[in-house]
Amino acid sequence: MNVRELPRLSEGRPPAALRVFGVVALLVIVVSTLTTDPMPGLHGDGLWVTLAVVAFVAGIAASLPLNELPPGVRLAGLVLAGAASCVFTAVQPDSGGYAGIYYVVVIAGIRMPRVTGYLVAGGTLLAEVLIVSLEHDKPASTAAGLVFSVVPWFLITRMIRQLAARRDRAEELVEELRESREAAAQSAALAERGRVARDLHDVLAHSLSALALQLEGTRLLARGRGADPEIVAGLEHAHRLAAGGLAEARQAIAALRGDALPGPERLHELVEAFGPSASLSVIGTPRETSSEARLALYRTAQEALTNVRRHSAGDRVEMRLEYGDDGTTLTVADHGPGAPVMAGGGGYGLTGMRERAALLGGRLDAGPTEDGFRVRLWLP
């Protein structure tokens, strides 16, 4: 017997062949009671047969369903079926009605709690044995045959119930173990992310912060001493880059620590920080996307604007976010007389943007236009 193939006690169904056999067996029992003397009627023994048939059918209907039943319903159904079986044995011994006891012990063994199952099955069997002892010509041998043919069915069904219960418990333990391992792995990952975040904060963020302060002090000193305007402008540009890098480093640290990741709703902040020459337009109805897609849209826009600031002298930047039927498209294009944005560069770069898009099943196209450079990201 393969324990893994046993049905779950709460929701499983027996194999189809077994269900068909059970239905056919019950039909045979009922048909035999309807066609054997004394037949169902309204007087004498026929009345008892009629009542027994009704009770047997009602008992099956109440006790057979596999789903959970209200307390006492299945018990009442088995009691009715067992009583009907005893009536058939006493009043209609030549029919197959006595076989109803097999139905009672099978259902009691596999569907009822331990004590209740023993009481129902044992009580029905005891009643049948007493009736056979009083009515049959050879009571000892008939009663012994009945006991030795019924008890194994009950024990087998109890064993099946216990195996299924143990299987269910084993599956629950395996699921608990899997969840425990996942929690441990997640905890280890969070601890490692926290360590990396602390290292970034201690090294990169502090260094960039000190660099930004040093550049600002140098810029003020150069302006105060009447330095060349180009030198002052260069220092201002370097200070902005250092401040932007510091902000990006802090965002990366926040992401590592599990803080809320930025998404499309913060694109307007990037545009405002870039300056009045940048604009943002949103087309279509915004919709919920995965956290990875949200972050990809934000990081692509951030990197594209950073590249414009670093490598282009364009006088206008247009950002467009379009929600289409097949996906979301982000376009960042600069326009002006300046040189187009270079495809190289360190940091995240176009290569990193393409990799992030590919991981999400999207694509990123980047290249020069007639008057600048355009980056286009599409995510499904």
Summarised one tens digit per residue, pLDDT across range 44-86 is 888 999 999 999 999 989 888 877 788 788 899 999 999 999 9
- Greater model confidence, 6 or 261: 261
> Which pLDDT does position 337 carry in this prediction?
64
Q: For residue 346, is pLDDT > 60?
A: no
pTM attached to this predicted model: 0.48
> Which pLDDT does position 9 carry in this prediction?
47
Q: What is the pLDDT of residues 6-28, one digit of tens each?
A: 455 444 456 677 778 888 888 99
DSSP secondary structure string for all residues of 156-218:
HHHHHHHHHHHHHHHHHHHHHHHHHHHHHHHHHHHHHHHHHHHHHIIIIIHHHHHHHHHHHHH
Identify any residues that bridge with 334 across adjacent strands, giving them in sequence order: 317, 373
Q: Where in the chain does DSSP place strands (E)?
A: 278-283, 316-323, 328-335, 363-369, 372-379
SS3 131: helix
State mean pLDDT over 293-307.
Answer: 85
- Greater model confidence, 336 or 281: 281
> Which pLDDT does position 47 carry in this prediction?
93
Q: For residue 298, is pLDDT > 50?
A: yes
Which one, of 285, 272, 292, 306, lies nearest residue 375 by Cα?
306
> Which pLDDT does position 338 carry in this prediction?
53
State mean pLDDT over 201-218.
Answer: 72
Q: For residue 268, is pLDDT > 70?
A: yes
Residues in the chain: 380
State the average pLDDT for the chain. Answer: 80
Q: Decide: 89 and 75 in contact? Cβ < 8 Å.
A: no
Residues 6+ apart with CB under 8 A from 118: none
Q: Decide: 347 and 358 in contact? Cβ < 8 Å.
A: no
Identify any residues that bridge with 260 across adjacent strands, giving them in sequence order: none
> Which pLDDT does position 312 carry in this prediction?
66
Question: To the nearest whole percent, how much of the chain has pLDDT over 70?
Answer: 84
Name which of 19-33, 110-124, 203-217, 291-305 the model is least confident about. Answer: 203-217
